[in-house]
Structure 1
């Protein structure tokens, strides 16, 4: 009889083991998870397609993710689509008509933007070209979109002194922040210029909501954007391992698991 673990949970645990040990073997995973050889091979194939592991004969090895590596927007947009969709649906429930919100750059915030088109009289501040484009293309006349200036990054975010100067004059109710990595030490990015702009977004907001899929656990970029304790809410998907849940339940204002919004709260 196969394990009762769902595929996303099992795959998240496999990624965690690969990152910790550098490599895993199919036979070891079959024994550990009590599933078939074919199931594990499908898991590894899926993880390799998403760029989370490198598939080799008989197992998988870690992908070298440097602290300054920054995939482009198009590359990131096809990763963890189901998890990002679940996170976006849950985060959208935190937005009320008439509010002023900010959305940082990233594919998870871009997914969230698509869920916010129907929110009436919304004011959106963003440094993300794709996020702004979602609202512009909606054709709504009761929503206001403010796009900062700045230098464009590989993730299609606008950063630098012009973006920071614009954000230092703005106040919003909630910031929805996409991040590159999450760990016990906080939320990080591989782009130093983007970190300064993200910090300006945090200064402009009354509430910080961090959006991160579970594959970002224990990824650490070169620059810290915020400590765990600065986040009022962290929204993640059900693949987040228990070790991470324990950390964030203690350190963030509220941890929300997107597939089960009331599963872990404080």
Structure 2
């Protein structure tokens, strides 16, 4: 019998993400049951779970894989960064056209914007951009990019989200002026924007107040959902960019606020 073909690293990572979602949906599962469910050996499943636990994406304990609480999984950067990457890349490619050389940008801590950092860095010295952000992750991705000057707004460091919040951040924003703010949202329902944590809602409001123009970059998985703290509607954004899986009712609600809504195909970036 011929040897079984070795999976690529991308295929292994896809399986691990599938395992993560399966555990997240069920809360906790025995490791041997997971091995049976995904058709792999017990040793392979242990390796997968060791990797996921090492990245703090789940817990491995007493022969079980255990999910983190739902709030943590919905908001923490380590979960959001690899989710919906094709859609995020397409959204960022679409919004990149709003950025003009020589401008000052505000960018929030949304992982939706992470692909945009690579696009800005690729532009090179002709971009001559100033980026102000509370996101350590974005600052790291843009650091050293030719023609891009990065200012990191310091404050209370939130390790789960790899970003800063608090009065130091909002005061810093009050002293700044930007040409354009780019941000996402954790939840959008009927054109209203929500975040589960008050501190982040306050940062988003301060960013909106500091910029001439605003664009909301939000993938379809965020639409039709509500969280604890509301911070206005899509009417405060001149442009909303989302993907083609967005529910029709939510698109209609966004357009009813007066925002210009652009819909892109995942993978088009």
What secondary structure does 1:173 align onto? strand
1:149 matched residue in structure 2: 154
- Residue 192 of structure 1 and its aligned partner are, at CA, apart by 0.7
Q: Which runs of 5+ in 2 are unaligned?
A: 1-14, 27-66
Aligned pairs (5 A) from 1:50-89: 51=21, 54=25, 70-89=74-93
Contact 2:130 2:150 in 1 (8 A): yes
1:221 and 2:227 correspond:
yes
**Match in the other structure for 2:176:** 170
Report if the CA contact (8 A) 2:165-2:200 is conserved: yes
Q: Secondary structure at the match of 1:116?
A: helix
Matches within 5 A, 1:100-115: 100-115=104-119
Q: Partners in 2 of 1:241 and 1:205 — Cα distance?
A: 29
SS in 2 for 1:215: helix
**SS in structure 2 of the partner of residue 187 of structure 1:** strand
TM (norm. structure 1) is 0.71
SS in 1 for 2:162: coil
Q: Show the 5 A alignment for 1:113-152.
A: 113-117=117-121, 118=123, 120-138=127-145, 140=146, 142-152=147-157
Cα deviations by residue, 1:32-70 (Å, 9 ceiling, x for unpaired): xxxxxxxxxxxxx99966749837xxxxxxx99977875
1:210: which partner in 2? 216
Aligned-partner SS, 1:207: strand
Residue 152 of structure 1 deviates from its aligned partner by 2.1
CA-to-aligned-CA distance 1:10-47 (integer Å, 9 cap, x gap): xxxxxxxxxxxxxxxxxxxxxxxxxxxxxxxxxxx999
Q: Show the counterpart of 1:94.
A: 98
After superposition, the Cα gap between the structure-2 partners of 1:181 and 1:257, relative to the gap in structure 1 and judged at 3 Å, is same
Larger radius of gyration: 2
CA distance in 2, matches of 1:184, 1:68: 24
Mapped partners of 1:130, 1:164: distance in 2: 19
RMSD over equivalenced CA pairs, Å: 2.7
Structure 1: 5+ residue runs without aligned partners? 1-44, 56-62, 261-266
